[in-house]
Structures are given as structure tokens and as C-alpha cells.
Chains A and B, each alone.
Chain A
Amino acid sequence: MSQFTVDSIDAERGPTSTPRDVVIETRGLSKFYRDFWGRKKVQALKALDLQVYRGEIFGLLGPNGSGKTTTMKLLLGLLFPTGGDVLVFGRPATDVAKNERIGYLPEESYLYRFLNAEETLDFYGRLFNMSRSVRRQRVSDLIEMVGLTWAKRRTLKEYSKGMTRRIGLAQALINDPELILLDEPTSGLDPIGTREMKDLILKLRDQGKTVVMCSHLLADVQDVCDRIGILYQGELKELGRVDQLVTLKDVTEIRVPKLDPRVENEIREVLARHQVSVLEWGNPSTTLEDLFLRIIRESEAHPGLRVHGRGNGNADRN
């Protein structure tokens, strides 16, 4: 049983949060998987209490088998709860009408591989009862947004995993949804695609949409999520604002431009005088993602740039 109740969630929202609309609410939500004879086999989720507010990016974290995808499927009405309630926009998750305002990107883009990109998006647009003219405009905008204009007539079976992921995202956005549920949104994407996906998620939040994503790629979650919940063995173990949860309150970090040795010595003396032990001193490293993206950007600006190996594992670029 989770120790986090609705009240404690409110407390976790921190001092900066203001009262907002609740988009998703689960109350004591639990799920058993049963075998053929109806006997309980696995308890995938144990009494989950959760609220997701309008306009935030909420991340569900956890290792494989922790209940992230089960939660997502319960929110979508693809699974029925064994106990408790799931409300989406104040209606039960099994209510079909709620889907009008939802966009969903599954873990793998489960799309009809015999359709091409245009047909795929047009098909899903028709499921939202969109008129032909609206569909046409929306399909062309989304294909352009996900950068697949060049491949829009190719059937999805010819698509790479990254391309399928992009078209999967486009189908999730076909109805301009208020709530977007993303299951492992960056899986299968290259670093550029991952960056673009994360930028897009932030952009969606800026447009006032609510995003719920689940992932086990912690860096991605940290980059984009406002709040997270950590699930382990079907139980909610942590919940709160990312910036607060990851802040080490008993450590101080100062970032300044490169210091000359004299100033550095002075600082060390001051610290010693105050009997402060230095935990780490040096030049911070960038993330591999930032490095990769910088190299790609430079390569695009200077197409002739190449790497010359020195034989010692390092390389010169000219």
C-alpha cells in the first residue's frame, strides 16, 4: 500500500504550485493479472493514488515490470482495474468519449504496416470523425512536423524504427489532444530524434497540454518532466517535483567561468579556513548527448569536417 495519499500529493507540489485542474486521478488503483481459471497470478499494481494536473509533464519511472505500462493501459481503458478507480477528465477510464481528448503513443508504434504515412494519419483522423478538409490539412501539417514529407507515400513496413516512432507520434497528435500519453517516447530514436522528441514534449506543455510519459531512461525523464512518480513492484515509491527530488540539499555547487590558479588558491584557502572539505574540484563534463548534437550541428555547418586519429584513441578534427 502506498503511503502517498491525495493530500500528500498536494503537499509534494511544492510552494511554487498553484491549485490546478486535475486531469487524471487514480484512487486505490490496483490490478491483478489472472490465469485461465481466474486465479490471481501477478499483482501488477498495488493501490495507486495519483493526480496529474493540467499543463504539466508527468513522468512515471520504474524498472521493467514495475507497473508503468499497466498504469498507462488502465488510464486508457485497455485494461480494467481489479480495484479502485481511474478517472480521466473526471470520467471513468473505460468511457470511450474521453478518448476524444486523448492522444496515445504506445511503447512500440503499433500501426498497420500495409498503409502509408498519409493513409495512416487519414485513417486515425476519420476515427475522430474529422471532416475531409480538416483531415487533409492536419495530416500534411503533422507529416511535416515529424519530418516525413519525403517518405509520406511509402508503406510503413519500409520505415525504420525511428520513422515508425515519428509517425506513431503524429497519429497521437492527430486530434490536437489535451492529454498526451507517451509510453517510452524516446525508445528507438537516435540522439537527434530523442532531442527533437524532448523538445516537442516541452513545446506541447508550453501549449498548455498535459503530458504523461513513462520511461526507464532517467536522463530523458529528468530533462523534460515537471513531476515524477517512481514505481517499483507495483507500488509508488516516490512522487514529487523533479527539481526538488534531485536537489542535494547538503551539497553546494558554484559554476563560474574558468578561474586562474591564483584565484583558485585563494578560494581553497577560504574553504580551509572555514573547515569545509572539498568533495570535488575540476572542470565539469558535458553530457554525451550535448557533445553528439554539437558535432552533428558543426558537421552540418561544415560538411568537409573529418576526424584524423592519432593512434592514441584521441582524434583531431579539421
Chain B
Amino acid sequence: MASDRIFGLVMAVVALAYMASAYHIQASFLSDPVGPKAFPMIIGGVGAISAMYLVFRPDPDPEWPVLRTWVALAFAVLVLVLYAFALRPLGFLLPTALAAALLSYQISPRPKFAAITGVCLSVVLFLVFKFALGLGLVALPARFSG
């Protein structure tokens, strides 16, 4: 019950904020009868109504994971975000091996298996994408290769 209510409230607020920012869209002097505002406003309106419906008529709660799993999920997101930032400066191989190993460890906690998975995935994917498919991946940071 509670999760749907919270989600509904959050979505209703988001929808209203969306409508507010849609209201401030600049219309150009050459406009059609509808203009750039109307459709986003309608979407926001329908969204807000549906979200409020959810607040008043929620479904039973889903089974939420325990706190430890939440920590694991947050950690996974963090790993992925860092990976996204590391991909350009650090080259492909290192960040990929590390990120893949950490994800693998999160799914099945066996350190040695995860490490091997990470290294193998990184090397195999690099070879496949670089040489079989011809994508322009950079293996290592510029300092090492050049």
C-alpha cells in the first residue's frame, strides 16, 4: 500500500513540476494553433491524475529487498557510474575487468570466480569488438600505449 502511495505522490509532484516548466516554454512568433506548450501540458495533466488515482487506490506492496540488498544495488549503480566516467581516460581493458568482476561478485559472491570472469570478459569483449566488429576501442590509457 505505502509504496504505491509514495510513488503516486512523487509522480504527482513531478507531473505538476513538468506542467509548470511546460507553461514557461517560449513560443516562437511563428506558431501553429496548438503551439509547443499544449501537448506537454496534457501529458502532465494525465500523469498527475493517474498518479493521484494511485495515491487513493494503491495496490498491495511488492516484496522489497532487505537492507543488505539495497546496499548491494546502490554499490552496483556506483560501480556503473564510475565505469562510465573511467571508460574514456583509462581505456577499455582495466575499467571493464574491474566493473565486470564487481558485478559478477554482486550476483554470486565467489571472489576468485568473479575475478576470472572480469578479466576474461574484458579481454574477450575487447578482442571481439576491436577486431571482429571493428569498433574503435582504446585498450589502455594513452600514457601506456603511446
Judge: A and B partners, yes or no: no
B→A interface (CB under 8 Å)? none
